Structure 1
């Protein structure tokens, strides 16, 4: 009895020791697992950083046409990314990543490593094999043209790689950055890299599809070339200033005709763009007055009008049209180097905007023929620069990409398959026929002066929640006239192009047009809180609203639209920006309806 009584306290002690031993082992295993995870994370981080660095190096080498360097960098990126993938799919890592919430950062890193590995294998390695396609010595045929045959030969491969790049970019964008800021930052960096890579390769693929036929691989092509002047705003950017007709054959481009807008005569049999276009714009006489030929922001309308004018004037049919402006030219000249005029003056990326849109008006005063001849020469040199794409390939592609992104380079083809590609690449500058939320505001100069060089804009588009059939939306546009120097020439700040003699010098007299979401219902429009005269209609499915206003020197006018838009308008909001001199601030707060 005594022995049994003495033994009983020992059992709980042994049980406690066993429990403590088990807990100690579990804690030790947990510590080991955490240390192991830390080691894996440290090594994976290094692998991913190496992979991203080498991916950037591979892309740069492709643009330089350095096949050996591109392949070496792509191989290193693939090796490092596969190493990171193996670490982030380790059994311990995978088990930890499955823990709700706590494991979210680890799961995100696993997805990041998958994306980087697939980007290296499916995109960087195969594009490195095509580096010769973008080698400047191979892409150009001397200083006269572009080797479109080389592009055409590699178009199928480029298309396959571009498809893979876009799929991987979509996957990257779908990764949850998690609650851990370091992982969230890494995810954002990855998305930036995959987006840049996919856009670059898709752009190259689009060029390979479009340039061979459009630059005359199958016969001569002819195009109207418009050099727009955004100092006098029009819906597609600026007034048609100098223009030319260019011809292309086998990648070689020639300027056949060049002239100021005054030599483009009114056609005897104007083109007909339909009742809707006439309702909105007939008062501006766009079919017969080249100065108002681009009053709609839908570039194909302007292109067709210009082509019609040229054919009736010369009897020569054209295959399409393209337009650009001095701001886009400034981007290109920074990559290609300056152009030299016949008198030795150099036009550079730093001075071309000021020269063409401001100082030339002071320089030539009232001598318009001399000023236009000067601008024509610049336009002619610009065409050669644009079509030969001399200079560093990477810099040229980046300049062209920026011009396309800002809608400063626009192209139209009268062939439906080519026009579809131009639209998908952002080159068509169309009013999109989309069911998504949409807000586009354009300014048109009504005074016939060059005061829009001094115009500054901001746009704010906001909508309510996706409840019910309709939701409340507002579009607020602020327009600031920074022209306060009233000693500027009347040609710049006067009202010489408008018969209304009440326009005071320095006043920005503008037509403001908004294209809003398909199915939207306008409630109110105000200018500085007051109700203006306005008109409504439709344009390519959108609610179309027009009003006029005058902005005094140094003043700001605020135009506000309130309206209902259908919640059936799905997807991300589309907010095209008119390409003028400024880079407007655009704020979009429009919840996506699904």
Structure 2
């Protein structure tokens, strides 16, 4: 006869389930309370970061110090709240886990930046006017740079590490509000890393590059993005800059008409010849097709020396969009028949000029006037803080590339984005790239647009990195008749007027090889080459007005798959949309 009690085994199961449920409720309550506190701390960090930025820009260091201390306290608190074993355990819960991991990653990044970057930056700000960069009366005071180089280096290293960590957070796996916060963090950290990295580079390089140890001469090559080349655009005009004692002056100006094609090409790397034959070694306009600016810069210098003689200490290449960024600091600019604003300068330089000034020689004169006027305004009339911001933004978009003939300086440059070289893959991240080179022989890339999607995962059991490029010709349907012949090319090089013909090269991670290649789902003949240890696949694409095409390349083997993938794309007039998606195998 039963005494009403449950069997011992059932009682044990009931106690266990009850205990687990109780612990689960307590754990949920624990992480909920700590999560609310962490989110509140991180919101205060974001608010403080904005206040600190304004205080430093205004030179209010007395006000900046308590703000920095508050940021440090809130960041440290957020990290403490999200680093205990219970919180970390929730990071492995299906669906919810990525959200917990993202919050703890954001807190850790904020704490590291606060501890390792803010302190040295405040020290620099106390000893050196970051708002002026030592700029006065058309010259830069070079002496203080030696003192600020080390703390800026520490801050730059911390921000670079934070940027890499932020890029590894899987925002797409989190809830929408958190995903947006992660993307905002990435943007803020990337902006800070770019600005501080540029300042550190300036502290290392400017004292010698601006003539602190003796006069320097640099070739300034201005690229026109309306006719694309790998590093931005065709060289449209070129000039000599002289630097001495921190003062920069503009010397000889020339155009591509001053550099006729060579019968014998200058020496080129095997990869350049494989992709573009010897044209970059014979024509000045094509030198910026060379993917590695270390090679392109040396070739530009050789062409200048062959035409004008003298010793060249380096080459600086900028594209037309840099003018827009600079004019936001310098104001409106008058040249030739135009008066440009920051909002209209691109349209004028890369489109309207061809209708208003049909003669190519006269166009060159107008371009020279624009370059001279903008250069003079930047050196004498602009707000220095805004100028620094404009240059940093341009550098971050890959629109400024520098090569130095001095090995020690070139070593620093090649390790930064300014050097224009393809970065080395690391244990945490790989790089892929998309290079666009126009073969229309005209200025139709004013109307081209691009988007790039990367994905990583596994296809047919192999680690895979996928790059998908969509290329569009947005020219009006009547472009053949509504646009000037100089813009369309008028069929001179075998391309129907209004159409765009482009070489699109896609390179993959180091050591990986193409396993699948298609264009709009169909296989077609492609050109292959190597860039160092990277495989390159190049399509020739012809698009009529309004047409679009998508190229998909999958890479497998060493370097493909699991690691974070960053895409480097030729700078276009309108920055390409770059995104990451879940891998959908094409093969």
TM-score, normalising length: structure 2:
0.80
CA shift for structure 1 position 283: 4.7
Residues in 2 aligned to 1:439 and 1:145: alpha-carbon distance in whole angstroms: 40
Equivalenced residues, count: 551
Paired position in structure 2 for 1:324: 318
Answer yes or no: is the 8 Å Cα contact 1:71–1:129 preserved in 2: no
Residues in 1 aligned to 2:379 and 2:509: alpha-carbon distance in whole angstroms: 37
Paired position in structure 2 for 1:368: 360
Answer yes or no: is the 8 Å Cα contact 2:448–2:474 preserved in 1: yes
Residues in 1 aligned to 2:465 and 2:132: alpha-carbon distance in whole angstroms: 55
Match of 1:512 among 504, 511, 515: 504
Paired position in structure 2 for 1:460: 453
Match of 1:404 among 395, 400, 417: 395
Is there any run of 5+ residues in structure 2 with no aligned partner, and where?
1-17
Answer yes or no: is the 8 Å Cα contact 2:378–2:387 preserved in 1: no
CA shift for structure 1 position 427: 1.2
The reply on whether 1:273 has 2:280 as its aligned counterpart is no
Mean alpha-carbon deviation: is it higher for 484-493 or for 525-534? 525-534
The reply on whether 1:257 has 2:249 as its aligned counterpart is no
Per the alignment, do residues 119 and 449 of structure 1 end up closer, same or farther by CA in structure 2, a change over 3 Å counting? Answer: closer
CA shift for structure 1 position 363: 0.5
Residues in 2 aligned to 1:588 and 1:39: alpha-carbon distance in whole angstroms: 33
Deviations 1:482-521 (A, max 9, x none): 24232211111134652x4xx3221213333333344444
Match of 2:577 among 563, 568, 585: 585
Residues in 1 aligned to 2:517 and 2:75: alpha-carbon distance in whole angstroms: 55
CA shift for structure 1 position 536: 2.3
Answer yes or no: is the 8 Å Cα contact 2:112–2:162 preserved in 1: yes
* Secondary structure of the corresponding residue to residue 417 of structure 1: helix
Residues in 2 aligned to 1:51 and 1:544: alpha-carbon distance in whole angstroms: 43
* Secondary structure of the corresponding residue to residue 570 of structure 2: coil
CA RMSD across the alignment? 4.0
CA shift for structure 1 position 418: 2.2
Is there any run of 5+ residues in structure 1 with no aligned partner, and where?
1-22
CA shift for structure 1 position 210: 1.9
CA shift for structure 1 position 455: 1.2
Query: Which residues in structure 2 correspond to 1:137-536 (within 5 Å)?
Result: 138-167=132-161, 193-266=188-261, 270-284=265-279, 286-341=280-335, 346-365=339-358, 367-385=359-377, 390-393=382-385, 395-432=386-423, 434=425, 438-465=431-458, 471=464, 473=466, 475-484=468-477, 485=479, 486-495=481-490, 498=493, 500=494, 503-522=495-514, 525-528=517-520, 532-536=524-528
TM-score, normalising length: structure 1:
0.79
* Secondary structure of the corresponding residue to residue 287 of structure 1: helix
CA shift for structure 1 position 400: 2.4
Residues in 1 aligned to 2:105 and 2:456: alpha-carbon distance in whole angstroms: 33
Deviations 1:304-349 (A, max 9, x none): 2210011122221211111112212202211332334488x54321
Answer yes or no: is the 8 Å Cα contact 2:444–2:500 preserved in 1: yes
Per the alignment, do residues 357 and 553 of structure 1 end up closer, same or farther by CA in structure 2, a change over 3 Å counting? Answer: same
Answer yes or no: is the 8 Å Cα contact 1:65–1:133 preserved in 2: no
Residues in 1 aligned to 2:29 and 2:499: alpha-carbon distance in whole angstroms: 70
Residues in 2 aligned to 1:109 and 1:252: alpha-carbon distance in whole angstroms: 48
